[in-house]
């Protein structure tokens, strides 16, 4: 089997018949493999790209999480100072948090990562029905989580804890809001995969597409675990 | 002093002299020259910087000369068409990594020492000054011994409960007067103290405390710069070695007129300083409000008409206000400045500033964003009140019932009256 | 590619797959996929990395002229101490836009342009890993740049300084502190540009990781490719921090949040930390590619290999790492405390070591060589000298007590212009001269090039050398006027004259580029007798790059294919090598059909998505939610169209977008 590098010119495709076609197809495939990096790549282009993107996104969240951590407790200090001057302090996060409720929605988000893994397993063994089932389940759980977030936020606002109440509100809502935006994008992504699958265009050869969506989804879940731990579970006193 | 220390000082002073001589390329009137230190802090910095600068220059010239030399020595000729294909040399690589490292360590040690030296608190007995950077001028509250505030007629000022008011600082603007050879500890801030803000709507936030920009305090002849950051207080210790006026400016972009936000430090003898403090602690020569039973002077009428008291403290040398404290505005020395430190304080400039502080074209004002200040509002509410408004034109606005209202323009006579009043309040 | 009547099962299968794909994607059926790869419209739809590279560089040069005009206006204003050429408002806009333009609309994109054109050629690839994403990056840049500049007509340009410190820029919109729309345009515009830069960087990393030709090990890659890879990692990690900071500024300004509002406990210095954690790696992102370009040019015109190749590579990596640990040297005056200040002082000095090592290695490259002073070589040698000056003044900044006298004065302005103009821009201009023959198949005028270099060189030094002195003598930066008593008027006048000299030189360069494109001396594939792979293919570079994927066996593989070393270590021409022989050139159609070459197809979606993003951006800054909604819709439609479309119309393969 000749490799492209060893021949001066490539006449393999000028005459179209017989076993030379198989050679020709192999040559084209080889060229594609070499020039698109799938030949020697330890990790495919798309997967490497998504990992890099997630690293970037991780630092993006890192900026907001750092701001939250740096500003922890400052609203309390300001509230104390304000009280000393006779000004009514506003609500801070620990006044309005409902940890049991958020734990439940967090659990659902965690479960959605499980269903995502199941979806990937299903498409790898070419089980289209199961793939669609688990993709829908993941999107559904994600939507329930989002719904929970929206409910939670509206409750907070009703109780007087808003984006502009104080530094606590600012850091909380912007961070969790951006996370929610990421979840939303993820849900649309999953629905697109659903759409592709339903129109028959998703096969086990496309498992990498699902894997990449899965990586994103798991990332969003991990970020939530970090947020939930830092913001909800570690109290500010 | 040890020999090495003496040698170091000899080298330092030679190099400093060289740098100073170079600096003569700039003006002899330049009172803002980091290359001619007139204070302890600036001198320490210069002692550190100068040798390093010259070392860097020598290295730079060496590298550039080497580059030029190599470029010429090895230019293409018929004889050297095929040079030896050398790929590298480990010894050289190690050498020219280690050597710069050693030099840098040599630089790092005195650097860190100087950092800690300059950060030291001032000695007890230093004069404490609270410096507040505002848009676009500097406020100085010089700590003094406790004194009683007096009214213009000499009576003791009392507060609501009848207790006599005392204070322990005098507040001034644009110029900081200090005695020679005494440490000054500056406490740099970006606003007069902040009310904590809680639970505000977006609109209310817009009106909240004007601690909205960072400034930086820099008098190069006396020392390096330190920022005035909202929410923080930064310390700067200076000690002037010679009498004179040393100018400086704000060195952190703070909006429209950052470029002309200047100030000066006037270094005087101890005797002159005590005299100045005494004068500052006295009540104003003329009060800004007429006392009961007396007819208001034209100046007092104009002051009331145009609401100067909304922004300026005028009868109390210890009060801090949005605009500069004008109690002792009148010049006690030659070459004072007004208008954010960029305009010489003369009689003409004073009344012209009052008349139209935005007249920068003619050199009597600086750019402002302050038209809406006439409403007596603090910044916010969609209003522009940063700086001093232009009183020479009427101000038209919509009243609460939607009708158009007009505040009158100031006449030159009124401005001159106010200017005269201010100028006399030395 | 032309469709032949199917005669074989193979061809029938290929066509069937085509038909399925076209039928299946309803959206793309509505919009017929562009197919032409020549002609003016092909520039809008092309995903060819070379076309995209040229577009990046051309548009960046336009922005360079814009930024240059802003600089000239600044210099005109500063010609005399109390000038009224510009009002204070205009001046503040000028220095803000000059900095923003030069860093984000010239520096980053032109580097992306060079990287785009050269990286695949230098590693023996046909294109980058994600050709459509590559095109996307360019259109985001173009639309984002136009977006920011449109602010001049929509309420005033940004005027918060190019780094936009809070709380000046984060003060509520109506508070009057920094009135107008300008800062909103700045924040959202930069967020847009950040997306494009990040995707470009991502693309480069994947390309270099996965798509090198056989035998092209990492330590055989050209230094330019190494530098581009390092800065791509820096970009991917640093930009998101800045994006987060920009979002915080935008929210504070418009939605009443209080990230930087001290009365609620916010800290303005948080912004500075976040900005400079990005900002310092950013300046290395700007300079390392310049160092890469110089590392390519010097060996060619010394006819010697790069001295200390691996040291230069490792010092680049070292700079990449250490650059994360020095950011607070931009904040020495802000009151960090002596421990932090000392630590950052020392780390800043440390980062000078790998930088200095490179300079010595370049001198080592010149030493013992056979130096030909082409224009490209003049710029590169000029780089060594100018960057040395800038680097050394940088070391004086690392001495933090001294820095408290230098920061925010013209001394700092002198420093960064020496490294960015005398460094990066010189390297870029040299790179233009050097690679012009590869791009256009013609030579630039050497005579005009050399005259241009000397004019720019003299003008540059005349402009920025006096600033060292005027800064130490008390002239602060960002000041619309200065005091006559400072005595720096003459220095400023010199600087203004120098600036106009630079402008004249740049004009000559542009004339040279345009003239040479049409009338330059036609040249072959390897006019410089160079060392790297891009010179082994015909000029102008054909669309398919390499007819056969090259097999690489060493650094400077192309040189070693031409020359071997005699016992003395000198290069002698190999037997059978004729330097005048041109490599085979075929048409693209022939390459695809006869040689099995596989090329990505043009597309319109990577232009639609940035269009939608920009429409949405206008909606945000003008507070018009309908416009926002339209923008989101266009972006979504573009993304869907993009996702459905296969990357090529014929063969299928895994994964690439």
Q: In this predicted model, what pLDDT tens digit does every residue of C361-389 receive, in sequence order?
A: 999 999 999 999 999 999 999 999 999 99
Cα A197 to Cα A174: distance, rounded to the nearest angstrom: 35
Q: By the CB < 8 Å criterion, does B245 face chain C?
A: no
Residue contact A166–B199, C-beta within 8 A: yes
Angle (CA) C604 C606 C609, round 5°: 110
Res A6 pLDDT > 60: no
Q: By the CB < 8 Å criterion, does B125 face chain C?
A: no
**Which residues on A lie below 8 Å from B194 (Cβ)?**
none
Distance from CA of A6 to the nearest CA of C (A): 9
Res C286 pLDDT > 60: yes
Instruction: Render the burial of A63-89: b for 16+ CB within 10 Å, e for the rest.
Output: bbbbbbeebbebbbebbebbeeeebeb
Distance from CA of A172 to the nearest CA of B (A): 15
- C315, C354 in Cβ contact below 8 A? yes
Residue contact C214–A5, C-beta within 8 A: yes
Q: Give the model's confidence band at C467: pLDDT under 50 very low, under 70 low, under 90 confident, else very high.
A: very high
CA terminus-to-terminus distance, chain A: 73
User: What is the residue-averaged pLDDT of chain C?
Assistant: 91
Burial of B212 (0-12, 13-18, 19+ CB in 10 A): buried
Q: Which two tokens stand for residue B394?
A: 């009427």
Count of helices and strands (H, E) across chain B: 8, 14
Q: By the CB < 8 Å criterion, does C258 face chain B?
A: yes
Indicate the helix (H) or strand (E) that contains C571.
strand C571-573
Q: Which two tokens stand for residue C511?
A: 């004339």
Which one of B74, B200, B253 has the shortest CB-CB distance to C370? B74
3-state DSSP percent of chain B in helix, strand and coil, to 5: 35, 20, 45
3-state DSSP percent of chain C in helix, strand and coil, to 5: 70, 0, 30
Which one of B195, B196, B201 has the shortest CB-CB distance to A164? B201
Q: B217 φ, ψ to 5°?
A: -95, 120
Q: In this predicted model, what pLDDT tens digit does every residue of C61-94 receive, in sequence order?
A: 999 999 999 999 999 999 999 999 999 999 999 9
Cα C307 to Cα C322: distance, rounded to the nearest angstrom: 23
Q: Give the model's confidence band at C5: pLDDT under 50 very low, under 70 low, under 90 confident, else very high.
A: very low
* Residue A81 or residue B179, greater confidence: B179
- Please give the interface size between A and C, counted as residue pairs whose CB atoms are below 8 Å apart: 191
CA distances from B61 to A24, B75, B399, C418 (A): 63, 21, 69, 15
CA distances from A190 to A50, A123, B371, C39, C534 (A): 16, 14, 55, 39, 42
Which chain C residue shows the shortest CA-CA distance from B250?
Answer: C476
Residue contact B379–C176, C-beta within 8 A: yes
> Which letter does DSSP use for residue C103 in this model?
I
Please identify among residues 65-124 of chain A the ones whose CB lies closer than 8 Å to any CB of chain C: 66-67, 70-71, 74-75, 77-78
Q: In this predicted model, what pLDDT tens digit does every residue of C236-245 receive, in sequence order?
A: 999 999 999 9
Distance from CA of C325 to the nearest CA of A (A): 16
Q: How do strand B395-398 and strand B226-228 relate by DSSP bridges? A: unpaired
Stretch among A20-29, A122-131, C122-131 having the lowest mean pLDDT: A20-29
Which one of B60, B80, B197 has the shortest CB-CB distance to C392? B60
Residue A5's pLDDT is 40
Q: In this predicted model, what pLDDT tens digit does every residue of B365-409 receive, in sequence order?
A: 999 988 888 886 554 455 678 889 999 999 988 777 778 888 899
Cα A89 to Cα A166: distance, rounded to the nearest angstrom: 9
CA C218 to chain centre: 22
Q: Which of C26, C210, C274 would best serve as a mutation to test chain A binding (most A beta carbons within 10 A)? A: C210
Residue contact A166–B198, C-beta within 8 A: yes
Length of chain A: 237
Helix (H, G, I), strand (E, B) or coil at B370: coil
| Greatest extent of chain C over all pairs of C-alpha atoms, in Å | 89
> Which letter does DSSP use for residue C307 in this model?
T
Distance from CA of B195 to the nearest CA of A (A): 7
User: pLDDT means per 10 residues in chain B (426 residues)?
Assistant: 59 62 68 93 96 96 94 89 91 95 96 96 94 95 92 83 90 95 96 79 68 94 96 95 96 95 96 95 89 88 91 91 92 92 94 94 90 69 77 86 87 95 92
pTM over 0.80: yes
- A183, A110 in Cβ contact below 8 A? no
Res C591 pLDDT > 70: yes
The fold of C25-36+48-568+591-644 is Cytochrome C Oxidase; Chain A (1.20.210)
Cα C136 to Cα C608: distance, rounded to the nearest angstrom: 9
Q: Give the model's confidence band at C652: pLDDT under 50 very low, under 70 low, under 90 confident, else very high.
A: very low
Angle (CA) C270 C274 C275, round 5°: 115
> Which letter does DSSP use for residue C422 in this model?
I
Neighbours of B157 (CB within 10 A): 16
- B356, B306 in Cβ contact below 8 A? no
CA atoms within 13 A on the CB side of B362: 10
Residue B118's pLDDT is 95
ipTM of the shown complex: 0.91
> Which letter does DSSP use for residue A232 in this model?
I
Indicate the helix (H) or strand (E) that contains B169.
strand B166-173
Chains with 3 or more CB pairs under 8 A to chain C: A, B
Average pLDDT over residues A37-59: 87
Strands (DSSP E) contained in A13-156 are: none
- C300, C529 in Cβ contact below 8 A? yes
Indicate the helix (H) or strand (E) that contains B177.
strand B175-179
Residue contact C656–A21, C-beta within 8 A: no
Chains with 3 or more CB pairs under 8 A to chain B: A, C
Average pLDDT over residues A207-218: 95
Which one of C352, C363, C570 has the shortest CB-CB distance to B104? C352
Q: By the CB < 8 Å criterion, does B231 face chain A?
A: no
Res C393 pLDDT > 70: yes
User: What residue spans define the domains of chain C?
Assistant: 25-36+48-568+591-644
Q: B196 φ, ψ to 5°?
A: -60, 140
Average pLDDT over residues A50-58: 97
Distance from CA of C45 to the nearest CA of B (A): 43
Residue contact A52–C202, C-beta within 8 A: yes
Short-list C200, C142, C114, CA closest to C428:
C114
Residue contact C263–B31, C-beta within 8 A: no
Residue contact C264–A167, C-beta within 8 A: yes
Distance from CA of B293 to the nearest CA of C (A): 42
Q: Give the model's confidence band at A103: pLDDT under 50 very low, under 70 low, under 90 confident, else very high.
A: very high
- C183, C160 in Cβ contact below 8 A? yes
Q: By the CB < 8 Å criterion, does B202 face chain A?
A: yes
Q: Domain A45-233 is classified in which CATH homologous superfamily?
A: Cytochrome c oxidase, subunit III, four-helix bundle (1.20.120.80)
Cα C307 to Cα B74: distance, rounded to the nearest angstrom: 15
- C28, C73 in Cβ contact below 8 A? no
Q: Which two tokens stand for residue A195?
A: 């759409």
Q: Give the model's confidence band at A86: pLDDT under 50 very low, under 70 low, under 90 confident, else very high.
A: confident
* Residue C44 or residue B122, greater confidence: B122
Q: Which residues does residue B354 pair with via DSSP β-bridges, in sequence order?
A: none
Cα B326 to Cα C642: distance, rounded to the nearest angstrom: 67
- C494, C506 in Cβ contact below 8 A? no
**Which residues on B lie below 8 Å from A165 (Cβ)?**
198-199
- B308, B147 in Cβ contact below 8 A? no
Res C9 pLDDT > 70: no
CA C94 to chain centre: 22
Which chain C residue shows the shortest CA-CA distance from A208?
Answer: C655
Residue contact C551–A5, C-beta within 8 A: yes
**Which residues on A lie below 8 Å from B199 (Cβ)?**
88-91, 160, 165-166
CA distances from B56 to B26, C304, C362, C390, C555 (A): 22, 30, 19, 11, 35
Q: By the CB < 8 Å criterion, does B2 face chain A?
A: no
Q: Which long-range contacts (CB under 8 A, 24 or more apart) does A49-55 make?
A: A49/C129, A49/C130, A49/C202, A49/C203, A49/C206, A49/C657, A50/A212, A50/A215, A50/A216, A51/A215, A52/C201, A52/C202, A52/C205, A52/C206, A52/C236, A53/C198, A53/C202, A54/A215, A54/A216, A54/A219, A55/C236, A55/C237
Cα A10 to Cα A21: distance, rounded to the nearest angstrom: 13
Cα C246 to Cα C190: distance, rounded to the nearest angstrom: 8
Residue contact A165–B197, C-beta within 8 A: no
Which one of B29, B255, B262 has the shortest CB-CB distance to C177? B255
Distance from CA of C177 to the nearest CA of A (A): 19
Residue C24's pLDDT is 42
CA distances from C458 to C78, C372, C449, C455 (A): 20, 21, 14, 5
Q: Give the model's confidence band at C20: pLDDT under 50 very low, under 70 low, under 90 confident, else very high.
A: very low
Query: Which residues does C129 contact at the CB level (< 8 Å), separation at least 6?
Result: A36, A37, A45, A49, C203, C206, C207, C210, C211, C656
User: What is the residue-averaged pLDDT of chain A?
Assistant: 85
Q: In this predicted model, what pLDDT tens digit does every residue of C175-215 receive, in sequence order?
A: 778 888 899 999 999 999 999 999 999 999 999 999 999 99
Residue found by looking up tokens 């000198």 in the block: C570
Chains with 3 or more CB pairs under 8 A to chain A: B, C
Q: In this predicted model, what pLDDT tens digit does every residue of B91-135 receive, in sequence order?
A: 999 999 999 999 999 999 999 999 999 999 999 989 999 999 999
Q: C45 φ, ψ to 5°?
A: -110, 0
Residue contact C240–A34, C-beta within 8 A: no
Q: Which two tokens stand for residue B42?
A: 């600036």
Residue C320's pLDDT is 95
Residue B26's pLDDT is 64
**Which residues on C lie below 8 Å from B50 (Cβ)?**
none
- Please give the interface size between B and C, counted as residue pairs whose CB atoms are below 8 Å apart: 370
Residue contact A13–C594, C-beta within 8 A: yes
- Please give the interface size between A and B, counted as residue pairs whose CB atoms are below 8 Å apart: 33
């Amino acid at each position: 089997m000749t490799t492209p590098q060893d021949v001066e010119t490539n006449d393999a495709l000028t005459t179209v018949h017989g076993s030379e076609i198989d050679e020709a197809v192999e040559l084209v495939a080889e060229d594609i493999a070499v020039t698109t990096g799938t030949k020697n790549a330890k990790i495919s282009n798309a997967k490497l790209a998504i990992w890099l993107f997630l690293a970037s996104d991780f630092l993006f969240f890192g900026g907001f999480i750092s701001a939250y951590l740096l500003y922890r407790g400052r609203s309390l200090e300001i509230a104390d100072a304000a009280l000393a001057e006779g000004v009514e302090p506003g609500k801070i996060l620990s006044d309005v948090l409902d940890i049991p409720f958020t734990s439940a929605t967090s659990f659902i988000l965690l479960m959605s990562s499980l269903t995502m893994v199941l979806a990937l397993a299903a498409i790898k063994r070419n089980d289209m029905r199961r793939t669609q089932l688990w993709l829908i389940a993941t999107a559904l759980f994600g939507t329930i989580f989002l719904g929970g977030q929206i409910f939670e936020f509206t409750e907070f606002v009703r109780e007087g804890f808003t984006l502009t109440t104080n530094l606590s509100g600012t850091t909380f809502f912007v961070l969790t809001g951006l996370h929610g935006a990421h979840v939303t994008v993820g849900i649309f992504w999953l629905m697109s995969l659903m759409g592709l699958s339903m129109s028959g265009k998703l096969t086990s050869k496309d498992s990498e597409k699902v894997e990449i969506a899965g990586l994103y989804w798991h990332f969003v879940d991990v970020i939530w675990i970090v947020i939930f731990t830092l913001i909800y579970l570690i109290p500010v006193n | 002093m040890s020999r090495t220390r003496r040698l170091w000082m000899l080298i330092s002073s030679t190099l400093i002299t060289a740098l100073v001589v170079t600096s003569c390329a700039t003006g002899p009137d330049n009172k803002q020259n980091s290359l001619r230190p007139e204070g302890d802090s600036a001198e320490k910095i210069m002692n550190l910087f100068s040798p390093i600068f010259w070392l860097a220059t020598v290295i730079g010239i060496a590298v550039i000369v080497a580059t030029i030399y190599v470029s010429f020595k090895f230019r293409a000729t018929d004889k050297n068409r095929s040079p030896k294909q050398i790929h590298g040399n480990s010894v050289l690589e190690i050498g020219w990594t280690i050597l710069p490292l050693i030099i840098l360590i040599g630089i790092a040690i005195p650097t860190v020492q100087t950092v800690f030296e300059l950060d030291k608190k001032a000695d007890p007995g230093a004069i404490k000054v609270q410096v507040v950077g505002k848009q676009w001028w500097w406020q100085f509250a010089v700590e003094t011994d406790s004194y009683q505030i007096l009214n213009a007629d000499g009576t003791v000022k009392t507060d609501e409960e009848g207790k006599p008011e005392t204070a322990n600082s005098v507040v001034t603007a644009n110029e900081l007067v200090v005695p020679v050879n005494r440490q000054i500890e500056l406490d740099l801030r970006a606003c007069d103290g902040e009310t904590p803000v809680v639970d505000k709507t977006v609109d209310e936030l817009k009106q909240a405390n004007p601690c909205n920009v960072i400034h930086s305090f820099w008098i190069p002849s006396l020392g390096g710069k330190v920022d005035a950051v909202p929410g923080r207080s930064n310390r700067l210790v200076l000690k002037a070695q010679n009498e004179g006026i040393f100018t400086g400016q704000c060195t952190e972009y703070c909006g429209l007129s950052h470029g002309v936000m200047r100030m000066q430090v006037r270094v005087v003898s101890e005797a002159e300083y005590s005299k100045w403090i005494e004068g500052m602690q006295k009540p104003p020569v003329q009060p800004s409000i007429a006392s009961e039973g007396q007819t208001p002077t034209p100046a007092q009428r104009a002051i009331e008409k145009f609401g100067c008291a909304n922004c300026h403290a005028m009868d109390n040398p210890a009060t801090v206000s949005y605009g500069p404290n004008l109690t002792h505005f009148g010049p006690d020395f030659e070459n004072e400045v007004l208008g954010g430190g960029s305009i010489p304080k003369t009689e003409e400039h004073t009344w012209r500033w009052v008349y139209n502080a935005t007249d920068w074209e003619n050199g009597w004002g600086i750019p402002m964003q302050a038209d809406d200040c006439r409403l007596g509002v603090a910044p916010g509410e969609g209003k522009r009140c940063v700086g001093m408004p232009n009183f020479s034109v009427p101000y038209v606005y919509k009243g609460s019932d939607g009708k158009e209202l007009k505040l009158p323009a100031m006449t030159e006579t009124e401005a001159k009256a106010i200017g005269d009043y201010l100028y006399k309040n030395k | 590619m032309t469709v032949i009547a199917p005669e074989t099962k193979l061809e029938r299968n290929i066509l069937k797959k085509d038909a399925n794909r076209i039928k299946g994607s309803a959206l793309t059926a509505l919009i017929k996929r562009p197919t032409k790869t020549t002609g003016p419209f092909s520039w809008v739809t092309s995903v060819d990395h070379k076309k995209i590279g040229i577009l990046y560089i051309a548009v960046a040069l336009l922005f360079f002229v814009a930024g240059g005009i802003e600089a000239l206006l600044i210099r005109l204003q500063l010609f005399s101490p109390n000038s009224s050429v510009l009002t204070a408002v205009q001046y503040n806009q000028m220095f803000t836009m000059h900095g923003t333009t030069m860093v984000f609309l010239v520096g980053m994109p032109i580097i992306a342009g060079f990287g785009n054109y050269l990286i695949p050629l230098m590693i023996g690839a046909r294109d980058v890993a994600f050709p459509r994403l590559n095109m996307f990056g360019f259109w985001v840049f173009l639309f984002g740049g136009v977006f920011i500049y449109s602010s001049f007509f929509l309420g005033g340009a940004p005027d918060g300084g190019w780094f936009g410190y809070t709380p000046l820029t984060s003060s509520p919109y109506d508070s009057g502190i920094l009135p107008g729309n300008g800062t909103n345009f700045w924040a959202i515009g930069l967020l847009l540009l950040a997306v494009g830069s990040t995707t470009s960087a991502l693309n480069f990393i994947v390309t270099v990781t996965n798509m090198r030709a056989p035998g092209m090990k990492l330590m055989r890659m050209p230094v330019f490719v190494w530098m581009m890879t390092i800065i791509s990692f820096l970009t991917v990690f640093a930009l998101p921090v800045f994006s987060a900071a920009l979002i915080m500024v935008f929210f504070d300004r418009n939605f009443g949040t209080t990230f930087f509002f001290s009365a609620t406990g916010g800290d303005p210095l948080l912004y500075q930390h976040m900005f400079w954690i990005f900002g310092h790696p950013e300046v290395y992102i700007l300079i390392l590619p310049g160092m890469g370009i110089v590392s390519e040019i010097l060996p060619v015109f010394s006819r010697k290999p790069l001295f200390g190749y691996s040291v230069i590579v490792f010092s680049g990596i070292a700079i990449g790492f250490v650059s994360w640990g020095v950011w607070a040297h931009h904040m020495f005056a802000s009151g960090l405390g002596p421990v932090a200040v000392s630590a950052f002082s020392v780390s800043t000095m440390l980062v000078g070591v790998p930088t200095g090592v490179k300079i010595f290695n370049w001198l080592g490259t010149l030493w013992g060589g056979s130096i030909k002073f082409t224009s490209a070589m003049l710029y590169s040698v000029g780089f060594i000298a100018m960057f040395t000056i800038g680097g050394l003044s940088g070391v004086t900044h690392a001495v933090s007590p001294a820095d408290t006298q230098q920061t925010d004065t013209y001394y700092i302005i002198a420093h960064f212009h020496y490294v960015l103009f005398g460094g990066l821009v010189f390297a870029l201009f040299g790179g233009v001269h050097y690679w012009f023959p590869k791009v256009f198949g013609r030579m630039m005028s050497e005579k005009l090039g050399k005259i241009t270099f000397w004019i720019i060189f003299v003008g540059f030094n005349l402009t920025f050398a006096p600033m060292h002195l005027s800064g130490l003598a008390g002239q602060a930066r960002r000041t619309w006027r200065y005091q006559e008593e400072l005595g720096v008027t003459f220095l400023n006048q010199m600087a203004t004259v120098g600036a106009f000299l630079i402008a004249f030189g740049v004009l000559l360069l542009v004339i040279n580029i345009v003239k040479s494109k049409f009338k330059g001396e036609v040249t072959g594939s390897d006019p410089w007798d160079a060392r790297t792979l891009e010179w082994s293919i015909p000029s102008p570079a054909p669309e398919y790059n390499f007819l056969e994927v090259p097999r690489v066996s060493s650094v400077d593989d192309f040189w070693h294919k031409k020359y071997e070393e005699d016992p003395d270590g000198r290069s002698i021409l190999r037997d059978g090598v004729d330097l005048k022989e041109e490599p085979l050139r075929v048409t693209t159609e022939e390459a695809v059909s006869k040689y099995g070459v596989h090329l990505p197809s043009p597309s319109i979606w990577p232009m639609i998505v940035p269009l939608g993003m920009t429409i949405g951006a206008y909606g945000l800054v003008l507070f018009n939610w309908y416009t926002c909604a339209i923008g989101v819709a266009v972006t979504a439609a573009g993304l869907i169209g993009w996702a459905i479309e296969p990357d090529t119309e014929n063969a299928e393969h895994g994964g690439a977008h």
